Amino acid sequence: MPELPEVETVRQTLLPLLKNKVIVDVDIYWDNCVITKDFKHKITGQHIQDILRYGKYLVFVLDEDVMISHLRMEGKYYIHQPRKKAHHEHVVFHLNSDEYLTYHDTRKFGKFELISKSMYLEVPPLSLLGKEPKDSDSRSLYQKLTHKRIPIKMAFLDQHIIAGLGNIYVDETLYRAKIHPLKPCDKITQKEVVSLIKHATDVLEHATSLGGSTIRTYHAVHGVDGKFQNELKVHTKKDEPCERCQTPIIKIKVGGRGTYVCPTCQKQ
Q: Kindly list the catalytic residues.
A: 2-3, 56, 257
The identity of residue 84, as a single letter, is K
| Helix (DSSP H) and strand (DSSP E) numbers for the chain | 6, 10
| Rounded alpha-carbon distances, angstroms, from residue 192 to 33, 209, 257 | 39, 26, 22
Angle CA 56–201–246, to nearest 5:
110
Residue closest to 174 by CA, chosen among 152, 146, 158: 152
| Rounded alpha-carbon distances, angstroms, from residue 227 to 72, 211, 219, 263 | 20, 6, 11, 27
Kind of pairing between the strands at 65-70 and 100-104: unpaired
Residue closest to 102 by CA, chosen among 9, 33, 4: 33
